[in-house]
């Protein structure tokens, strides 16, 4: 039988699946990094990193804060991914409704805010850190000066591993973790992980936290005082509403 030679199969399905997966990851990454930036700039965790970085070693503060935020992001993604046992069509539209609610709420908050909003939260964080400082000073008196890292000007030699598990590291970690628990950015990470690619959300969320916390640590109080919490909140509301609006054009079964 001439002309009946077998034709090599073309694996179009696998290529489509790979493209779909890549698009899902990119979409989740962009979504996560966007909502984290608009949620975290001028937030309590931002102020914690900014104020602590002015008093103590910046690398130690950054390491402690990022460990807390990275851990919280992973936990939030796991919580969100756990909801995928529910049919996707339900989680997709519930998450869309939550984004719409978050967006409207943020817009209302932003429009009601005064231009110098955020100073009250800044003062609250300063008082909280001052309280922790007093506790550290008491620990220093009880255990000796070698136990407390007193900032970049310290002359006490420390081993490298002790540098990263110092009381300042623990303070940055605990303050950030507790401030982030139940925060808007944690809730939105859970919601995103329920409807987007979980790996993209985890990576995008972590990168977003890195950018915000790094900015806080480098810029310190100057950035904290110059950021308009009102403007960031209004932009955040628009971003959340944009994600809710996108549900009108993206099918729940599209995979991203």
As given in the structure block, the two tokens for residue 181 are 């628990």
Q: What is the pLDDT along the chain (256 residues), one digit of tens a residue?
A: 555 555 555 555 555 556 656 777 888 898 889 888 888 877 788 888 888 888 788 888 899 999 999 999 999 999 888 877 777 777 777 878 888 888 888 888 888 877 666 566 666 777 777 777 777 777 767 765 544 444 444 444 445 544 446 888 888 898 888 888 877 888 888 888 888 888 999 999 999 999 988 888 887 666 666 667 777 788 888 888 887 787 776 665 554 4
The CA-CA-CA angle for residues 6, 7, 11, to 5°, reads 135
Domain range annotation of the chain? 28-128+165-249
Radius of gyration of the chain (CA): 23
Identify the sign of the CA torsion 162, 163, 167, 169.
negative
Query: Looking at residue 254, what DSSP letter applies?
Result: G
- Contact in structure between 237 and 110 (CB atoms under 8 Å): yes
CA 10 to chain centre: 42
CA distances, 116 to each of 25, 40, 110, 229, 249 (Å):
38, 17, 12, 8, 38
CA distances, 58 to each of 55, 83, 131, 154, 216 (Å):
8, 38, 20, 13, 10
* Helix locations, 41-87, DSSP H: 44-55, 58-82
């Amino acid at each position: 039988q001439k002309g009946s030679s077998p034709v090599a199969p073309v694996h179009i399905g696998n290529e489509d699946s790979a493209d779909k997966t890549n698009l899902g990851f990119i979409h989740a990454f962009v979504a996560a990094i966007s909502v984290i930036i608009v949620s975290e700039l001028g937030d309590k965790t931002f102020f914690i990193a900014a104020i602590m970085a002015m008093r103590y070693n910046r690398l130690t503060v950054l390491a402690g804060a990022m460990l807390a935020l990275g851990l919280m992001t992973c936990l939030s993604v796991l919580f969100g991914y756990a909801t995928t046992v529910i049919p996707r069509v339900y989680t997709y539209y519930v998450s869309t409704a939550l984004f719409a609610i978050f967006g409207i709420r943020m817009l209302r908050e932003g429009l009601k805010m005064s231009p110098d909003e955020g100073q009250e939260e800044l003062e609250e964080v300063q008082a909280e850190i001052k309280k922790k400082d007093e506790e550290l000073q008491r620990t220093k008196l009880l255990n000796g000066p070698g136990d407390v890292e007193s900032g970049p000007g310290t002359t006490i030699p420390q081993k490298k591993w002790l540098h990263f598990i110092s009381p300042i590291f623990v303070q940055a970690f605990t303050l950030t973790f507790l401030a982030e628990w139940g925060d808007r950015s944690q809730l939105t990470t859970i919601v995103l992980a329920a409807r987007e690619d979980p790996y993209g959300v985890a990576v995008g969320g972590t990168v977003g936290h890195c950018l915000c916390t790094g900015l806080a640590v480098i810029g310190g109080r100057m950035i904290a005082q110059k950021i308009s919490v009102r403007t960031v909140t209004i932009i955040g509301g628009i971003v959340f509403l944009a994600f809710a609006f996108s549900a009108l054009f993206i099918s729940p079964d599209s995979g991203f």
